[in-house]
Amino acid sequence: MAISSPYGSIRERPALTRGDGQHLLVVVREPEPSELLPAILELAGYRVTLAGSGTEALARVERRRFDLVVLDGELPDVAELGRRRPSVLAHRPPTLVLTVCDSLPGLLPELGPGEKDYVTKPFRVAEVLARIHVLLRASVPDPLRADGLGYGDLILDDARCRARRGRRALDLTPAEYRLLRHLLVNAHRVLSKEQIGRYVWGDSRGGNAIEQLVSRLRRKVDRDAPALIHTHRGFGYWLGRADVEP
């Protein structure tokens, strides 16, 4: 059964761009969009958290990492956000603005740098999902650099199976290299011990073997600050800046 509204129909779903579990913060106040948008986005494969004001949205973004923000540009407190809370965010997610305007430049300059786009109201579901897809794709750093895979000053050269942190070469065993590569490809995602064991050795090793491997790799990679390899106690391990939690 289709849901119809001025914003489109869920009957369009089969042809729509889908997500892959990315976490979106939806900041709206109008009754219909606030009820319909989360349902549509969740059906499209996204995880959704709601906020009812710009102030609430900023508080949520400061506490955790979102992949993208969908923001009603007509919220009364949006224009004050930049002046009251200047660029304090460790991670500034891309933003899709829902607006009655047809010109993004000057609409929200207080959002500062970062990927931004807009959709005019009344919007269509297909356009919203397409714009979200483009923003998410543009916001993910391309891991395939000219010299390999990297995060900050940590670089892997897959062609020669070598790694370095800044100017320092890392002397890694094959298992350590495979683990580091798996963590890099999944930066800011927690990997369980089972996932690590299957990737590194092709089977599920005991937890102690994983802990020893991670410990050896951490001593080599994190000898220089800041630390990049972290433990999510009870869940597994992840790689990234400590101020941008998964």
Q: What is the pLDDT of residues 53-73, one digit of tens each?
A: 888 888 888 788 888 999 887
pLDDT at 37 over 80: yes
On whether both 91 and 151 belong to a single domain, the answer is: no
Does a structural domain hold residue 58?
A: yes
For residues 107 and 155, membership in a common domain is answered with no
Is residue 244, in this structure, part of any structural domain at all? no
Same domain, 45 and 64: yes
Burial of 216 (0-12, 13-18, 19+ CB in 10 A): middle
Q: How far is CA 243 from CA 21, 111, 143, 226, 239, in A?
A: 22, 20, 20, 10, 12
- Quote the percentage of the chain above a pLDDT of 90: 18
Where among 116, 139, 162 does a domain terminate?
A: 139
Same-domain status, 130 and 231: no
The verdict on 42 and 75 lying in the same domain is: yes
CA dihedral 111, 116, 120, 123 (to 10 degrees): -120
Q: Judge if 110 and 163 occupy the same domain.
A: no
pLDDT value, residue 138:
65
**Are 123 and 168 part of one and the same domain?**
no
Closest CA to 122 of 54, 55, 36: 36
Please choose, from the candidates 232, 228, 223, the residue with its C-alpha nearest in 3D space to the C-alpha of residue 240: 228
127 and 19 in a common domain:
yes
Half-sphere exposure of 52 (CA within 13 A, CB side): 4
Mean pLDDT across 195-211: 82
pLDDT beyond 80 at 174? yes
Q: Kindly report the CA angle at 39 between 70 and 25, in degrees rounded to 5?
A: 25
At 168, which CATH number?
Answer: 1.10.10.10
**Same domain membership, residue 88 and residue 184:** no
Tens of pLDDT along 93-145? Answer: 888 888 876 545 555 544 444 567 778 887 888 888 888 888 887 665 544 44
| Domain-embedded: residue 206 | yes
Whether 246 maps to a domain, the answer reads no
Identify the pLDDT of residue 234. 87
With cut-offs at 50, 70 and 90, classify the pLDDT of residue 146. Answer: very low
Query: What domain range includes position 190?
Result: 144-239
Name the pLDDT band for 91 (thresholds 50, 70, 90). Answer: low
Asked whether 72 and 96 are in contact (CB, 8 A), the reply is no
Number of domains in the chain: 2
Q: Does 21 lie in the same domain as 73?
A: yes
Q: Is residue 86 assigned to a domain?
A: yes
Rounded-to-integer distance, Cα 34 and Cα 52, Å: 9
Q: Does residue 159 lie in a domain region?
A: yes
**pTM of this structure:** 0.51
Q: What is the pLDDT of residue 169?
A: 93
Q: What is the separation of C-alpha 52 from the centre of its chain, rounded to a whole number of angstroms?
A: 21
Strand partners, 51: 27
Are 148 and 156 a contacting pair, CB within 8 Å?
Answer: yes
Residue 130 shares a structural domain with residue 148: no
In-domain check, residue 104: yes
User: What's residue 145's pLDDT?
Assistant: 44
For residue 156, is it within any domain? yes
Asked whether residue 15 falls in the same domain as residue 132, the answer is yes
Q: Is the per-residue pLDDT at 81 higher than 80?
A: no
Query: For the residues 165-187, what does the mean pLDDT come to?
Result: 90
pLDDT number for residue 90? 54
Share of the chain above pLDDT 70, in %: 72
